[in-house]
Amino acid sequence: MTRAVHAFLLALKDLPHPRVMRVLAQSLALTLLLLAASGAAIFLAARWGLAHWQWLGAAQQDMAGILIVLALVAGSWLLFRAVAIVVVGLFADGIVADVEGRHYPAAAQRAVDVDWRQNIRLALASLVRLVGGNLLALPVYILLLITGIGTPIFALLVNALLLGRDLEAMVLARHPERPRFDRPARWSLGLLSAASFMVPIANLLAPILSAAMAVHMLHLRDGNEKK
């Protein structure tokens, strides 16, 4: 966990750099646009389904519409992460290459270029893991609702496992000859990243911050200490 915290602090220092800020602005604008479009599409599809099959009366459909909106708000964290992970996947190589080039130039010279096709494959694989993992965990989420705090804690743990795997794959794509992270490193990386997604405002920075943190985790493992 100490190495993960060190990597997190280094990633925070990377945020103000021009190229990182440019990627942040582009990815954030696209993420918010797709998030709004996804939310609207889900809402309209649900309302259409209720009206088409006439499961409910007019007044009940209005109430169902309100409940759908509330469900979207409650699930906005998961929806935001799903959209953000795909968008950041499109920019992943640029982020990783920039952080490596400034902090670990020797490693950057040995890195393999990752084209847009591989970035898309990595992003879609992350999305599949996110949706699949959380769907499998859904019954537990529902059972833990009675505890008040159990559901967000369990969601944090589940998504820490998923994010650790996603971020590891992102950085190892440029260094396929390197061994995988050990479990504690992957877990701590995923935990800090998942926690940052749960904090309002900070979650807007979380995708870029997590990518930079994964780069530092990879190279700090080799003792390439960056102060």
Residue 191: closest CA among 175, 219, 167, 215: 167
15 within domain boundaries: yes
Per-residue pLDDT band for 225 (boundaries 50, 70, 90) equals very low
Residue-wise pLDDT tens digits, 169-188: 988 988 988 888 889 899 99
86 within domain boundaries: yes
Residue-wise pLDDT tens digits, 133-147: 888 988 898 898 888
> Total domain count for the chain?
1
Q: Is residue 74 predicted with pLDDT exceeding 60?
A: no
121 within domain boundaries: yes
**Which tokens belong to 185?**
């490193």
Distance CA 102, CA 89 (A): 21
57 within domain boundaries: yes
226 within domain boundaries: no
Which phi-psi region, left, alpha or beta, contains residue 199 (left: φ > 0; alpha: ψ -120 to 50)?
beta
For residue 150, what are the CA distances in angstroms to 138, 144, 158, 161, 174? 13, 5, 12, 17, 37
Q: Is residue 216 predicted with pLDDT exceeding 90?
A: yes
227 within domain boundaries: no
Q: Is residue 59 predicted with pLDDT exceeding 70?
A: no
Across 51-57, average pLDDT: 58
Q: Calculate the average pLDDT of the chain.
A: 79
DSSP labels, the chain = -HHHHHHHHHHHHHTTSHHHHHHHHHHHHHHHHHHHHHHHHHHHHHHHHHHHHT-S-HHHHHHHHHHHHHHHHHTHHHHHHHHHHHHHHHHHHHHHHHHHHHH-HHHHHHPPP--HHHHHHHHHHHHHHHHHHHHHHHHHHHHGGGGSSHHHHHHHHHHHHHHHHHHHHHHHTS-TTSPPPPHHHHHHHHHHHHHHHTSTTHHHHHHHHHHHHHHHHHHHTTT----
Contact 158, 131 (CB under 8 A): no
- Domain residues for the domain of 177 are 2-220
Highest mean pLDDT among 36-40, 78-82, 85-89, 135-139: 135-139
Token pair 């493992």 in the structure block, residue: 221
225 within domain boundaries: no
173 within domain boundaries: yes
Output the pTM of the full model.
0.76
Distance CA 143, CA 199 (A): 24
Distance CA 98, CA 102 (A): 6
| Side-chain half-sphere exposure of 65, counting CA atoms within 13 A | 11
